[in-house]
Amino acid sequence: MKEIQVKENDKNQRLDRFVGKAVPLLPDSLLQKYIRLKRIKVNGKKADRAMRLTQGDTVQLYIGDEFFEKPNDNNAYLKVGNPKLDIVYEDENILLINKKPGVLCHSAGAWDWNTVVANIQAYMLRNGEWDPGSENAFAPALCNRIDRNTGGIVIAAKNAEALRIINEKIKLREIEKYYLCAVKGNPYPARGRLEDYIFKDASKNRVYVKSSPEPGAKTAVTEYKVLRTRGELSLVECRLLTGRTHQIRAQMAHAGWPLLGDGKYGTERFNRQFGEKQQALYSYKLIFEFPTDAGILNYLKGKIFSVDEAGIEFVKKYFK
Look at residues 144, 167, 155 and name the one whose alpha carbon lies nearest to residue 89.
155
Cβ-Cβ contacts under 8 Å for 120 (sequence gap 6 or more): 83, 85, 95, 97, 140, 142, 156
270 pLDDT above the threshold of 90: yes
Domain count, the chain: 3
Burial class (CB in 10 A: 0-12, 13-18, 19+), 187: buried
Q: Do 157 and 183 sit in the same domain of this protein?
A: no
Residues 130-154, mean pLDDT to the nearest whole number: 91
Q: Which of 137, 171, 205 is the last residue of a domain?
A: 171
Q: Please tell me whether residues 214 and 106 are part of one structural domain.
A: no
The predicted structure's pLDDT at residue 107: 85
Residues 81 and 212 in one domain: no
Same domain, 54 and 148: no
pLDDT at 51: 94
What does the mean pLDDT of the chain come to? 93
In this predicted model, what pLDDT tens digit does every residue of 12-46 receive, in sequence order? 999 999 999 999 999 999 999 999 999 999 999 99
- 208 and 315 housed in the same domain: yes
Q: Is the pLDDT of residue 112 over 90?
A: no
Q: How far apart are CA 303 and CA 290, in angstroms?
A: 9
Residues 9, 116: one domain? Answer: no
* pLDDT, position 108: 77
CA–CA separation, 129 and 94 (whole Å): 12
Statement to judge: residues 108 and 157 lie in one domain:
yes
What sign has the CA pseudo-torsion 308, 310, 315, 318? Answer: positive
pLDDT at 314: 67
Please report the pLDDT score of residue 139 as a whole number.
94
What is the domain-level CATH number for residue 200? 3.30.2350.10
Q: Which amino acid is at 240?
A: L
Determine if the peptide bond prior to 189 is cis (ω within 30°): yes
Asked if 128 and 206 sit in the same domain, the reply is no
In a shared domain, residues 223 and 265: yes
275's CB contacts (< 8 A; 6+ apart) are none
pLDDT at 110 over 90: no
* 154, pLDDT greater than 70: yes
What pLDDT, on a 0 to 100 scale, did the predictor assign at position 133?
84
Domain C-terminal end among 148, 171, 194 = 171
- Over range 249-268, report the average pLDDT: 95
Residue where one domain finishes, among candidates 41, 68, 95: 68
Answer yes or no: do 198 and 257 share one domain.
yes
Do 154 and 209 share a structural domain?
no
User: Which pLDDT tens digit goes with each residue over 275-319?
Assistant: 988 899 999 999 999 999 999 999 999 999 999 776 677 677 778
Residue 81 has pLDDT above 70, yes or no: yes
At 181 the pLDDT is: 94
The pTM assigned to this predicted structure is 0.89
Is the domain of 32 the same as that of 129? no
- Domain extent, residue 43, equals 2-68
**The CATH number of the domain where 29 resides is what?**
3.10.290.10
- The least confident of 47-56, 79-88, 130-139, 247-256 is 130-139
Q: What is the mean pLDDT of residues 230-255?
A: 94
